[in-house]
Amino acid sequence: MHILIINQGCHPDESAAAQYVTDFARDTAAAGHEVTVVCSTRNYECSVPAYPKTGTDGGVRIRRLWQTGFPKAGLAGRMANTATWNMTLAWHLLFSFRSRPDRVLVTTTPPLAATVVACWCAMRRLRFVYWVMDVQPDIAVAAGLFRRNSIPAVLARTLNSAALRAAYRVIVPDKYMEQHPTVNRVCAKKTGTVPFWPLQPLVRPDTHTGAAFRKKHGWQNRFVVMYCGNHGVCHPLDTILDAIVQMQSDPSLVFVFIGTGARKAQVAAVAQKVRPGSMVLLPFQPRAILGEVLAAADLHLVSYGNQYAGMGHPSRIYGILASGQPFVYVGPEASHITDSITASGCGIRVEQGDTNRLADAITAYMTMRKEQRLAEGLRGYEFVQANHCRSKHVKELIDLVTGP
């Protein structure tokens, strides 16, 4: 079967959506299907030079389309990047893409690409599957980028609902997104649920896994609290940063932030004010060493905004669980992360805004015996190994995309 996958990012883009699409494309090709990916010449953050327009990766044909490369820090630049890529996509599908795929898979990156695909598939009488990784424009409205009843929000909501209705099948990552009104009222009877998976290999963790990364940065004798992932608008960091200010006097404690995003400037501003050495800011690390990086922490932090419940699916939790380290989740109770805490016995949840509770939780893990902390982390690893391995979920995706 020839499967056409449409997503703004693909390898070597480091965004989560790009990496999951890459995994799916490679594994689908390895399963014997013909796979073509249409993506962008730019990476998700538009922070590197343009990629080649054509290429191959693991048996997958890649066609990259032009878009503007404005920095994502400003709303106007983000909208221009999205609009130009969607226009280029429409042109490519109408006038350049001559093959007739058996099935089309489109994601929510960028917004409204699914509408372009829905129109093209209707013209070509093709079936397409809509892999919904986040709910737009609801996230943009919740973030305050648009008023709910503004013209852009109403137009985007109408077009996205039309794409959901037109899709042959809809795939979401958890029950909360499946139950979200935007999804549920349109396509409740044709929705399949497939979670994400760790982006690093599943290797049983031990005390030496992250030792080299700790030594490289001089953290051998410090308690490392790590926030690793997108610093985006859906991940408020006020509670975490307030706790850092409160705990900065302890020289044995270091808070490490890895990644980039809209809130990176906020993190950098606090790092300038606290005791030198209490915060370390690093860029995204190569996927090849992700397991080592995550295992270098003694404790992980995850944040998600209450107003975004059911609209997104922070996938970093799977890598954290696979690393064998405990974590503190700062976010809403209605979440797959809370469900993972309950099911695995690894991690705790703290409400957004409860700085004292977060500081107490970090202190509790610091004073916990190392063997007890590692045992909790191991429960998380065993949970993700049994329930969220890549081969299991990719097979589920292939069945949904290629099935009748």
Note whether 158 and 280 are same-domain residues: no
Q: Are residues 91 and 234 in the same domain?
A: no
Taking only the tens place, the pLDDT of each residue in 230-243 is 999 999 999 999 99
Residue 6 pLDDT more than 70?
yes
Q: Record the pTM.
A: 0.95
Distance of CA 28 to the CA centre of its chain: 20
So what's the pLDDT on residue 373?
95
Please report the pLDDT score of residue 207 as a whole number.
67
Residue 212, pLDDT score: 94
Q: What's the confidence (pLDDT) of residue 365? A: 98
* Same domain, yes or no: 359 and 397: no
What percent of the chain is modeled with pLDDT above 70? 99
> Are residues 275 and 330 part of one domain?
yes
Domain of residue 17 covers 2-196+390-402
Contact indicator for 29, 61 with CB cutoff of 8 Å? no
Residue 190 lies in a domain: yes
* pLDDT at 202 exceeding the cut of 90: no
Question: Does residue 101 belong to any structural domain of this protein?
Answer: yes
Q: How confident is the model at residue 189 (pLDDT cuts 50, 70, 90)?
A: confident
Asked if pLDDT for residue 84 goes beyond 70, the answer is: yes
> Residue 366 domain-assigned?
yes
Together in a domain, 48 and 190: yes
User: Is 284 contained in some domain?
Assistant: yes
Shared domain check, 323 and 230:
yes
What's the average model confidence in pLDDT over 364-393?
96
Long-range contacts of 32-35 (CB under 8 A, 24+ apart): 33/1, 33/2, 33/3, 33/398, 33/402, 34/1, 34/2, 34/3, 35/2, 35/3, 35/5, 35/59, 35/60, 35/61
Q: Is the pLDDT reported for residue 72 higher than 80?
A: no
Which helix (H) or strand (E) segment holds residue 254: the answer is strand 253-258
pLDDT tens profile 332-374: 999 999 999 999 999 999 999 999 999 999 999 999 999 999 9
Q: Is the pLDDT score of 157 beyond 80? A: yes
User: What is the percent of the chain where pLDDT is above 90?
Assistant: 89
Question: Is residue 203 assigned to a domain?
Answer: no
185 and 219 inside one domain: no
**Residue 47 pLDDT greater than 90, yes or no:** no
- Answer yes or no: is pLDDT of 12 > 70: yes
Q: Which residue has the higher pLDDT, 69 or 38?
A: 38
Co-location of 316 and 394 in the same domain: no
Q: Are residues 29 and 140 in the same domain?
A: yes
Residue whose entry in the numeric block shows the structure tokens 């899709």: 167
- CATH code, domain carrying 49: 3.40.50.2000
List the single range of 174-188, 297-311, 351-365, 388-402 with lowest mean pLDDT: 174-188
What pLDDT sits at residue 101? 97
261 and 127, same domain (yes or no):
no
* pLDDT level of residue 62 (50, 70, 90 thresholds): very high
Average pLDDT of the chain is 95
How many structural domains does the chain have? Answer: 2
243 phi, psi to nearest 5 deg: -65, -35
Residue 48 has pLDDT above 90, yes or no: no
Best CA proximity match to 340, nearest among 312, 321, 322, 361: 321
Provide CB contacts within 8 A for 371, sequence distance 6+.
Answer: none
pLDDT value, residue 46: 73
Residue 77 and residue 57 in one domain: yes
Supply 261's token pair. 């995003």
Q: Is the pLDDT of residue 76 over 70?
A: yes
The answer to whether 213 and 325 are in contact (CB under 8 A) is: no
**Is 87 found in the same domain as 192?**
yes
